[in-house]
Amino acid sequence: MRNQNWKTIAAAALNFLVAGTSAQTGALTDLGTLLAGQTNLTTFYNLIQKYPQILLELPSLNGVTILAPNNNAFNKIPYTELNVAFQNNNEGVITNVLEYHILQGSRTAAQLIPGAPVFIPTLLNNATYSNVTGGQYVENVKQAGNSVVFVSGKGSRSSVVQSDLKFNGGVIQVIDSLLIPPANLTDTANSFNLTSFEGALYAANKIQNFTDASDVTIFAPENSAFQALGPAISNMTVQELSSIMDYHFIPSGEIFSPNFSNGTTFTTQNGAKITVRTSGNNVYINSAQLLTADILLANGVLHVIDNVLNPAESSVAPDPQVANQAPEFPSASAVENLPFTSALPCTVSCPVPSTASGTATGTASSKATTSVKASGLSTSSSSGIGAAKARETGFGAAGLMVALGGAVMMI
């Protein structure tokens, strides 16, 4: 009886979607008929039938875009961190995943202009995965040769393999792999080996502020940037380090790389401004070069830079002729160990903490690497400060870093 009720809901939802747009697109087939006729989308179609409540959320005024993973994309799930959610038929996770496949508005691949990426909000609004206004984003870019790519959490990439399947009410784009809803800052920093940056946030008592705030932009220096400073940063007081970390944090909205125009300034959490400078294809934040842009977070976006920013040296301009910019701290003295990693919380096989430092610092001397099989991810942890405190994860007690993902189409 329950299955019959869901089938009735599914049929009603499909009819609702069709009725909302049939006057404008009467010559096109309905969504159900289109999906049923695509032999490469049977797994996705079965999911839609299993969780038809998703169809009741589809906007009808301007149509919808559905990014549908093909059958082969679902065959890859056992080899990803998404496997547990699907093995357990976790309805909450899977329905949120389906929402991440849907964009309000009918958008075709033909509308995309090659070049700069476009960041498009989806229907995913669950606060676990989307602490951003208007729905979690997915990055969409058209590359050379008209290849269309979607980038989601942790830089996961999927390509469109079949485009612009139009139906009464919207369009379907078929992708070759599942996208990942963005994870929170701690999980993402771990995936990109930003361990000193993450440790500095813990040492400065800033991790909660950076992870809980919504609609944020974060500039994260790579590990070598902290090594280049050595005691100049590791010997700071908690208050001094807190101010430095706030200078890497913009709480006033997501700022994606297409907005990094030469001379643009942004106000950071500590009240001081940072300045964008460009030279050819290179982008600098103050004098720090932008290395990796537009890493999506559950609560905003993160950009990796090659230097720690110093509000006292904000006027220092980069030298585009130099591959590696000089540190912005005059007293910098390079070290081999990774600063602040002893401030990271331990997650597995944690020893009893030893002596605590009188400053905000820590080094990599006690750092251990452990494989966390429950999430299918490699986690770097420290045996130092905070050993009993677990890292935050995007899925809380479920132990999953991220769910399966989809994306949406074009501008």
* Predicted pLDDT at 40: 98
Beta-carbon-side half-sphere exposure of residue 403 (alpha carbons within 13 Å): 29
Same domain, 156 and 104: yes
- The pTM (predicted TM-score) of the whole model is 0.81
The terminus-to-terminus CA distance of the chain in angstroms comes to: 42
Whole-angstrom distance, CA of residue 357 vs CA of residue 108? 57
Count structural domains, the chain. 2
Same domain, 197 and 68: no
Whole-angstrom distance, CA of residue 80 vs CA of residue 216? 28
* Predicted pLDDT at 115: 84
Same domain, 109 and 22: yes
Tell me whether residue 227 is in a domain: yes
Pick the last residue of a domain from 153, 175, 197: 175
Tell me whether residue 375 is in a domain: no
* Predicted pLDDT at 48: 92
Q: Check: CB of residue 98 under 8 Å from CB of residue 404.
A: no
Same domain, 163 and 252: no
CATH number of the domain that 294 lies in? Answer: 2.30.180.10
Tell me whether residue 362 is in a domain: no
Same domain, 147 and 97: yes
Q: Check: CB of residue 312 under 8 Å from CB of residue 337.
A: no
User: Mean pLDDT of successive 10-residue segments in the chain (411 residues)?
Assistant: 46 47 60 95 95 80 88 88 83 89 85 87 91 95 89 94 94 93 94 97 98 98 98 98 99 97 97 97 97 98 98 93 92 96 80 50 40 30 29 32 32 32
Sequence-distant (≥ 6) Cβ neighbours of residue 294 within 8 angstroms:
117, 119, 139, 151, 256, 257, 301, 303
b/e string for 5-23 if b means 16 or more Cβ within 10 A?
A: eeeeebeebbeebbebbee
Sheet containing strand 148-151, strands side by side? 102-104, 64-69, 170-175, 157-167, 148-151, 137-142, 118-121
Angle between helices 2-25 and 42-50 (to 10 degrees): 110
Same domain, 101 and 146: yes
Whole-angstrom distance, CA of residue 240 vs CA of residue 236? 6
Phi, psi of 131 (to 5 degrees): -95, 50
* DSSP designation for 248: T
Using alpha carbons, select from 104, 89, 88, 113 the residue that is nearest to residue 17. 104
Q: Looking only at Cα atoms, what is the longest distance across the chain?
A: 74
Residue showing tokens 């610092």: 361
Domain span at residue 195 reads 185-336
Phi, psi of 69 (to 5 degrees): -65, 140
Pick the last residue of a domain from 141, 175, 209: 175
Same domain, 247 and 296: yes
* Predicted pLDDT at 84: 86
